[in-house]
Amino acid sequence: MEKAIKRYWPVFVLPTMAAFIIGFIAPFIYGIFLSFCKFTTVVDWKWVGIKNYTRIFFVNGKLDTTFIHSLWYTALFTVVTVLIINVVAFAIAMALTKGIKGTNFFRTSFFLPNLIGGIVLSYIWLMIFNSVLANYSKTIVSTQWYAFWGLVIVVCWQQIGYMMIIYIAGIQNIPGDMIEAAKIDGANNWQMLRDVIIPSLMPTITICTFLTLTNGFKLFDQNLALTGGNPGKMSQLLALNIYDTMYGTTGWQGVGQAKAVIFFILVAIISVIQNKLTTSKEVQA
């Protein structure tokens, strides 16, 4: 059978691969190449070696901290959102698997914000934040910390529903007899949670953690629309910082591309760790 199918690659594989090359492979390879070039468009590049990479950190012979700032700002943001989203989503999922009346409606409401795009979502909250904060003579971009918590709230609002759904799926997959057995053993609620539910949810927890982790790391739309990086680029997450370097200043496209390569490496490392963890967990289970 394999032989029969094999001849049909122009039908089955070619269209996707052609698009894949245009949409991913060629831009990726060329992107890495351009990170070592000075360029304004893709045709007029000039090889500059690792200069773009040093320029990320040193400008005019001085240390430039904007990228480093956005790096740790992003890291902190990611840690905070991962914690809040997962804890809250898990708690809601637990409650909504107890069979209380109206579960369907609750699930629907919690999930709804996830369907609204990051741009639209951010303007909703920008209006609310600024009208509330105006009473205290503050705005969402008064300091980088207002911006930070504003972003955290928006992202939590968006993603808690999504993660909740995944946790619900996980909880419903826990075999009923395991819980029954624990009950018969006289386990209280806390013990049940700690010894039965959480251990059997480990794969789900890993999935959700890494989904939120990469989402946090790659966040762009909300950042652009809610704070625009203000005040003074202090609330730029990595993705926005790269975008700003690439499109904000002529002559800096190469540096922006170099930042993007570093960004890619960071995301890749996280993903590899995730992969290691999930596969090892699966082996255990």
Partner 1 sequence: MAKKEKITASGPKKKYGTLLTVLFTIISLLWISPIFVVILNSFKRKAYIFKNPFGISNVPITRGYDRWVKGVEKTFVGFLNYTNAINKTGFFKAFGYSLFITVASVALIVLCCSMCAWYITRVHNKATKVIYLLCLFSMIVPFQMVMFTLSKFANMLHLSNPVGIVIVYLGFGAGLAIFMFTGFVKSIPLEIEEAAMIDGCTPIQTYFQVVFPIMKPTAITVAILDAMWIWNDYLLPSLVLNVNKYKTVQIAVQNLKQSYGQIDWGAMMAVLVLAIIPIVIFYIFAQKYIIEGVMSGAVKG
Partner 2 sequence: MKKKVLSMAICTAMVAGMLAACGGGSSQGAAAPAATDSGAAAPAATANAGSGRVYVLNQKPESADAWTAIAKTYTEQTGVPVEVKTAAAGTYATELQSEMAKSEAPTIFNVGNTSSAQTWNDYTYDLKDSSIYEHLSDKSLCIEYDGKIASVANCYECYGIIYNKTIVEDYCTMDGAVISSPDDIKDLDTLIKVAEDINSKVDAINEEFGYELTGAFASAGLDDGSSWRFSGHLANMPLYYEFLDDGVDPILAGEAEIDGTYLDNYKKVWDLYVSTSSADPKTLNSGALNAESELGMEEAVFYQNGDWEFAPLTNPENGYLVTADDLSMLPIYFGVDDANEGLCVGTESMWAVNAKASQEDIDASLAFLDWMITSDEGRKCMTEDMGLSCPFDTFTGDFASKNPFGAEATELMNEGKTSVAWAFNATPNVDDWRAGVVAALTAYTDGTGDWEAVKTAFVDGWAEQWKLAEEAAAE
249 binds partner 2 per the rule CB under 8 A: yes
C-alpha distances out from residue 120 to 223, 224, 226, 244, 279, Å: 12, 11, 10, 21, 37
259 binds partner 2 per the rule CB under 8 A: no
* Cα dihedral 99, 102, 103, 109 in deg (nearest 10): -170
Do 259 and 241 meet the contact criterion of CB atoms below 8 Å apart? yes
Segment near partner 1 (CB under 8 A), from 46-54, 56-64, 67-75, 265-273?
265-273
Question: Which of 85, 141, 258, 261 touches partner 2 by CB under 8 A?
Answer: 141
CA distance 65 to 68: 5
Nearer Cβ to partner 2 (203/231): 231
CA distance 129 to 222: 14
Q: What is the 3-state secondary structure (H, E, C) of 50-80?
A: CHHHHHHHEECCEECCHHHHHHHHHHHHHHH
Quick one: DSSP state of residue 44? S
Nearer Cβ to partner 2 (43/100): 43
Segment near partner 2 (CB under 8 A), from 74-82, 177-185, 191-199, 249-257?
249-257
Nearer Cβ to partner 1 (135/284): 135
Neighbours of 139 (CB within 10 A): 18
Phi-psi category of 61—alpha, beta or left, where left has phi over 0 and alpha has psi -120 to 50?
A: left
The entry of partner 1, partner 2, none that residue 58 binds, CB within 5 to 8 Å by partner kind: none
The entry of partner 1, partner 2, none that residue 168 binds, CB within 5 to 8 Å by partner kind: partner 1
CA distance 81 to 87: 10
Please provide residue 97's backbone torsions phi and psi, each rounded to the nearest 5 degrees.
-105, 10
Nearest 5°: the CA angle 38, 39, 44 is: 120
CA distance 202 to 192: 15
The entry of partner 2, partner 1, none that residue 285 binds, CB within 5 to 8 Å by partner kind: none
128 binds partner 2 per the rule CB under 8 A: no
The entry of partner 1, partner 2, none that residue 141 binds, CB within 5 to 8 Å by partner kind: partner 2
Kindly identify the residues of this chain, within the stretch 90-119, that bind partner 1 according to CB under 8 A: 95-96, 98-102, 105-119
Nearer Cβ to partner 2 (189/250): 250
258 binds partner 2 per the rule CB under 8 A: no
The entry of partner 1, partner 2, none that residue 95 binds, CB within 5 to 8 Å by partner kind: partner 1
Q: How far is the CB of 267 from partner 2 (least distance, A)?
A: 24
Question: Which of 1, 2, 5, 6 touches partner 2 by CB under 8 A?
Answer: 6
Interacting residues toward partner 2 by CB under 8 A: 6-7, 9, 13-14, 17-18, 21-22, 25-26, 29-30, 38, 40-44, 46, 48, 59-60, 126-127, 130-131, 133-134, 137-143, 228, 230-234, 247-252
